[in-house]
Amino acid sequence: MPKKDCMPKILIIEDDAAFCQMLQKFLTKNGFDVDTSFTAQDAKIKFKATAYNVVLTDLRLPNYDGLELLSEILAINPKTQVIVMTGYAAVGTAVNAMKKGAYDYISKPFTPDEILMQINSALSERRQEQTVKPRAKNSTASQGQSKGIVAGTSEASKKLQEYIKLVAPTDMSVLITGESGTGKEVTAKAIHDNSQRKDFSFVAVDCGAIPKEIATSEFFGHIKGSFTGAVDDKIGHFEAANGGTLFLDEIGNLSYENQIQLLRALQERKIKRVGSTKEIPVDVRIITATNEDLTAAVEKGTFREDLYHRINEFSVEIPSLEDRFEDLLLFADYFLAKANKALNKNIKGFSEEVLDIFKQYHWPGNLRELQNVIKRAVLLSAGDYVAKEALPKEVFKVKEIIADTEDFSKADYEKDQIVKALKKSNFNKSKAAKLLQITRKTLYNKINHYNLDL
């Protein structure tokens, strides 16, 4: 155990005493010197007396403006890394916090490992003597999306890149569809970064995480005293994204009432804060995403047809990882580098056994599952390479289950994979071999072995 004066010093500012003490206990066990404050006033006293490496703070504190507290902290010590915690899907406020110098933000509820990774990443940047600056945040609903996008070399990935380059320079509303975990927010961010709005905010909102009762306030903001709990004026997501891009993830989860409000804002390009009569003009580009069938929702009457057409001027379908299996190892290397940086480790690569397991697994959770598996494996790895012992047990199971079923033998499975690969590559055998991660000669041998009539 390192001496206490050598431990990184952390201050937690949180009015939920039980949560605060639980977090303090966890971080102390992981080698940090942790102080806690339940009020902003107490935090200011402690911060002036002690040089903290990292501050974890909730922006919603009783009787105090969290953004003002952030400014005061950074005025005293601009190299302190401030991580904002929010449990209200307050993306707009969190974006403002990063503009004012916060290192990053994390949405409650979060796992202990997630906050630990955030802290280690913040400390790593501090050790490199980088000053605190705004950073692009990865989603309120989903963890670990990247700042950039891995282009990929498969036909599906190339087609996706062509669509991004085609639609990005326009102001068209884009609807992104695809399975869960395929990287819809990463694609939305890539469209923003290649647009004329790239110098303005990209605000990501998980519509499924916003309770119906506060959705109006979250989207359009409110003025002080407009309802119980409105202790300060607050800007909404539309104002936060003014001039830039507003990304609405899982838009199909919005209530019918909220859909009407959203449609009105998109048509009029004006919003009113809750409790105010003043109209505020807004200039935002809307990108939406869903893993549901919105056309079916329109037919059922649960999603407005006029809103559907408003948000669907251009549609982009994100391919599943299975549909761009040729890019698997490219994505794996990318997530390895990302995990190394987040965990302050230097794992060089994957063992051959691990690569074989990756190729055999069907990745139902797509890129998100791949990233999570690699991040966990990097955390557990002690050597230079990720070994199979560091992988979760579910990645070993799927093919064994398929091979053991009475109606689907291992040979049947292999034939099925070959046929799928050939169809995906328009029966180009060289491309199909790449998808299957085998040589062209091996593919020909297997086609002859199984007497496939192609």
Q: What are phi and psi of 20, to 5 degrees?
A: -60, -45
Q: What CATH number is given to the structural domain containing 395? A: 1.10.8.60
Q: Is residue 55 part of a domain?
A: yes
* Residue 48 domain flag: yes
Helix (H, G, I), strand (E, B) or coil at 315: strand
| The token pair that represents 450 in the structure block | 């199984």
Q: Is residue 389 part of a domain?
A: yes
Residue 150 in domain = no
Over residues 2-31, the pLDDT tens digits come to 555 668 899 999 888 888 888 999 999 988
Give the least confident one: 82-96, 186-200, 244-258, 287-301.
82-96
Same domain, 313 and 338: no
338 and 304, same structural domain? no
Tell whether 139 is covered by a domain.
no
Q: Residue 377 is part of which domain span?
A: 326-449
- What end-to-end distance do the CA atoms of the chain give, in Å? 65
- Clarify whether residues 165 and 313 are in a common domain: yes
Smallest Cα–Cα separation from 183: which of 57, 319, 11?
Answer: 319
- The pLDDT assigned to 398 comes to 53
What is the per-residue pLDDT across 259-273, written as a single tens digit (0 to 9) for each?
A: 999 999 999 999 999
> Which of 123-127, 153-157, 243-247, 418-422 shows the lowest mean pLDDT across its residues?
123-127
- 298 and 356 together in one domain: no
184 & 281 share domain: yes
Mark which of 317, 340, 366 sits at the end of a domain: 317
User: What is 247-266 written as a DSSP string?
Assistant: EEETGGGS-HHHHHHHHHHH
Give the whole-angstrom CA distance, residue 200 versus residue 220.
18
Alpha-carbon span 202 to 248, nearest angstrom: 11
Give tens-digit pLDDT for 397-415: 654 444 444 445 556 767 8
Q: What is the per-residue pLDDT across 211-234, written as a single tens digit (0 to 9) for each?
A: 888 889 889 988 888 777 777 888
CATH code where residue 117 lies: 3.40.50.2300
The pLDDT score that the predictor gives to residue 409 is 56
Provide the token pair at 415: 């034939």
- Name the average pLDDT for the chain: 83
Question: What is the phi-psi region of residue 178: left when phi exceeds 0, alpha when psi lies from -120 to 50, beta otherwise?
Answer: left
**CA–centroid distance for 331 within its chain:** 16
Specify the amino acid at residue 438: I
Q: How far apart are CA 43 and CA 11, in angstroms?
A: 8
DSSP 395: H
Nearby residues of 312 by Cβ (< 8 Å), 6 or more positions away: 173, 175, 294
Residue 126: per-residue pLDDT: 58
What mean pLDDT is predicted for residues 250-257? 92
pLDDT tens sequence across 78-110: 888 998 887 644 555 666 677 677 887 777 777
- Looking at the fold, whether 228 and 286 belong to one and the same domain comes out as yes
* Partners of 288 in beta bridges: 175, 248
Q: Within a domain: residue 141?
A: no
pTM of full prediction above 0.75 = no
Least confident of 325-334, 370-379, 434-443: 434-443
Q: Which of 173-209 are b and which e, b meaning 16 or more Cβ less than 10 Å from the residue's Cβ?
A: bbbbbbbebbbbbbbbbbbbbebebeebbbbbbbbeb
How many domains does the chain fold into?
A: 3
Q: What is the pLDDT of residues 101-150, one digit of tens each?
A: 788 777 777 778 778 888 887 887 655 544 333 333 333 333 333 344 67
Work out the burial of residue 366: count CB atoms within 10 Å of its CB; fewer than 13 is exposed, 13-18 middle, 19 or more buried.
buried
Statement to judge: residues 192 and 259 lie in one domain? yes
pLDDT for res 4:
56
Give the three-class secondary structure for 182.
Answer: coil
Specify if 138 maps to a domain. Answer: no
Sheet bearing 314-317, strands edge to edge: 202-206, 245-249, 285-290, 174-177, 314-317
Report the C-alpha gap between 315 and 231 in whole angstroms: 40
Q: For residue 202, which of 318, 285, 142 has the smallest C-alpha distance?
A: 285
- Asked whether residue 368 falls in the same domain as residue 341, the answer is yes
The verdict on 8 and 95 lying in the same domain is yes
C-beta separation of 244 from 195 below 8 A: no
Using DSSP, state whether 69 is helix, strand or coil: helix
Position 319: which residue type?
A: P
Q: For residue 451, give both structure tokens.
A: 């007497």
The predicted structure's pLDDT at residue 219 = 92
104 shares its domain with 193: no
- Give the chain's length: 454
172: region left, alpha or beta (phi > 0 left; psi from -120 to 50 alpha): beta
- Position 16 in a domain: yes
Write out the two tokens for 41.
């006033």
Please provide the DSSP assignment of 82-144 as one string.
EEEEESS--HHHHHHHHHTT--EEEESS--HHHHHHHHHHHHHHHHTTPPP---PPPPSSSS-
Choose the final residue of a domain: 282, 300, 317.
317
Q: Which amino acid is at 101?
A: G
CATH code: domain of residue 170: 3.40.50.300
Q: Is the peptide bond before 169 cis (omega within 30 degrees of 0)?
A: no
Say if residue 414 is in the same domain as residue 300: no
Do 333 and 310 share a structural domain? no
Averaged over 52-71, what is the pLDDT? 85
**pLDDT value for 99:** 66
Last residue of a domain, one of 252, 282, 317: 317
